Amino acid sequence: MMLGRQIVLEPTAAAAEYCRKAAGTHLFAWNWALGRWEEDYEAWKAETDPEKKKALKPSAKRYKSEWAEVRKTNFPWSFDVTKCAGTQAILDLGKTFECAIKETALARKERRARRPMFGFPRFKNKRHCEPSFALWNDQISFTVINDRQYVKLPHVGLVRMRELLPSMGGILGARIRFHRGKWKISVQFDTDWNDGEISDKAAMMAQSAARKEAKAAGATAAEIEAIVVTANRPERLVPIHPHFERTGGVDAGQRCLATSHVKAADGSVIAHATGPSSALKRRLKKLRLASKRFNKGLQRKRKKVQKTTRSGKVKTVYEPWVRGEKLELSNRDKRRKQRVQTVQWGIANERDDLLHKESTALVRSCGVLVGENLNVSGMIKAASNPLSLLDSSMARYLDLLEYKAERDGGLFFRAPRFFPSSKRCADCGHIHADLKRGDYQWTCPACGVAHDRDANAARNLEYLARLIVLDDETAALGLVAAMDPDKRIGLVKWLNVARMKYQELKSIRLKQANAFSQSLFD
């Protein structure tokens, strides 16, 4: 599993200037490669000869080699920073094109619109782009001096970090970016690999390089085949979750962050509802005040014009903004902008802290979790006031639950998209089809039990998790029969896949326990 850790840097003036240069090199290399890509693509489409067409086909690997040669003569200033700044930008461009092509083919196959997050790459502008650049694991090193964490950057030396770097596995690389007025480093770890071990990919690359050298030296085919480089990564054990038999359901909502319902094997129930913290609410008020002051200061720089309203009244207003217009900020405006960025940074930290704490506590309390499969982007577009939806961070909360469950040896499943978790009565199983979006409190017309919308949805999702663990066919058939006929097949397939994953993980846990017991007697 790959995990990341983001830490704020405290660079000197020289180190900050180096980071800005590296970020500019990253942006320049991206635009250079994208321009070459578009030129070669047009030539590739126009070419009819198959041999020439193959040579003209755009590829990130070819542009990476060209960049290494071109920068020596045309862009000597790029040697003032690390080579990763430009090279990794070209590799990122290739990955972006691959994702966009796959998404386009998948959208055409499924007859839907392409998701905007997987769009084709565009040229970057330093005014509308976050400065960032990448570093490979052979270009950086970390050290602790007097209980202070430092990172060693090429051409700069040691740069102090605000907190200690945890030991989470082998370091794959890092990215440095300027976000909300602060330089931050995001370190990527591979939890299944430690420094010094040869991974499967590294062994394959070393074997390929050794065979090429042997072929160039004139070795025979048998001698080349005899060259084998194997990985020395030991087998990792699956984490043992202490409450693997517990089942839970979590309903993410906009009234509160999440409503969870956890049921133990003995029948005891743990219900919990999480709302935004009071500190987060205070910071949101500060953000509104700081943004209001900053925007008013900017409005005063515009000329006042006379505008006639629909009723015929003449009103004095400021001239509208023109897209792409450059605005000179005064020192006071810069201080107000810095204040807005500082408050936004605090809000982001406060929200992340709440999400991480609540998701960790929920994952550790039960082994099998079922959450909603929400179309958050569609909900935001359809909502009359999407601010509460954006503030709840539902999609991020479910993503945190998913990776933390895998890390701790549990399982997290997303319920089928059209499973009626809110409309189904958790006591009698009746589906209330007339339930509206704003009905947060409702009474079941079949059994007369009063329900809270979020708590009832969490109970229904926990019931799905219980069906996975108990493998109760009678209860599963009853649940499927109550649903609409066109949605039954999807639920049956989902249950079968979830049960297979649960049984597979359960068998792995049993093998590990038997091996450990055998080692005690040996």
Predicted confidence (pLDDT) per residue in 425-454, tens digit: 888 888 888 888 778 888 888 888 888 888
The verdict on 419 and 438 lying in the same domain is yes
Total Cβ atoms within 10 A of residue 201 = 10
More confident residue, 259 or 500: 500
Query: Cα-flanking dihedrals φ and ψ of residue 123, to 5°?
Result: -70, 145
What number is the average pLDDT over the span 178-183? Answer: 86
Output the domain CATH number for residue 263: 3.30.420
The verdict on 99 and 230 lying in the same domain is no
Tokens of 319: 């001239």
Query: Over 90: is that where the pLDDT of 44 sits?
Result: no
Strand ordering across the sheet containing 141-145: 132-136, 170-179, 182-190, 2-10, 157-161, 148-153, 141-145
Q: Do the strands 368-371 and 411-414 form a parallel or antiparallel pair, or are they unpaired?
A: parallel
pTM: 0.76
In whole angstroms, what is the distance from residue 382 CA to residue 198 CA?
Answer: 50
* pLDDT score for 13: 93
* pLDDT score for 483: 73
Domains of the chain: total: 3
Domain for residue 399, yes or no?
Answer: yes
pLDDT band of 516, cuts 50, 70, 90? low
pLDDT tens-digit profile of 120-154? 899 998 878 889 999 988 888 899 999 899 999 99
Domain for residue 327, yes or no?
Answer: no
The verdict on 17 and 158 lying in the same domain is yes
Query: Over 70: is that where the pLDDT of 199 sits?
Result: no
Domain for residue 309, yes or no?
Answer: no
What number is the average pLDDT over the span 170-181? Answer: 87
The verdict on 75 and 128 lying in the same domain is yes
Domain for residue 145, yes or no?
Answer: yes
Domain for residue 362, yes or no?
Answer: yes
The verdict on 259 and 182 lying in the same domain is no
* pLDDT score for 267: 61
Domain for residue 301, yes or no?
Answer: no
Annotate 419-480 with DSSP letters as a single string: --TTTB-TTT--B-TT--TT-SEEE-TTT--EEEHHHHHHHHHHHHHHHHHH--HHHHHHHH
The verdict on 270 and 208 lying in the same domain is no
The verdict on 229 and 141 lying in the same domain is no
Query: Over 90: is that where the pLDDT of 484 sits?
Result: no
The verdict on 154 and 228 lying in the same domain is no
Total Cβ atoms within 10 A of residue 478 = 11
Domain that holds residue 131: 2-190
The verdict on 157 and 267 lying in the same domain is no
pLDDT band of 26, cuts 50, 70, 90? very high
pLDDT tens-digit profile of 309-325? 878 888 877 777 666 66
Domain for residue 293, yes or no?
Answer: no
The verdict on 42 and 136 lying in the same domain is yes
* pLDDT score for 10: 93
The verdict on 253 and 142 lying in the same domain is no
The verdict on 176 and 206 lying in the same domain is no
Place of tokens 């009819």: 48
pLDDT band of 14, cuts 50, 70, 90? very high
Quote the mean pLDDT of the chain: 83
What number is the average pLDDT over the span 62-71? Answer: 91
Domain for residue 288, yes or no?
Answer: no
Least confident of 78-92, 108-122, 263-277, 298-312: 263-277
Q: Is 26 helix (H, G, I), strand (E, B) or coil?
A: helix
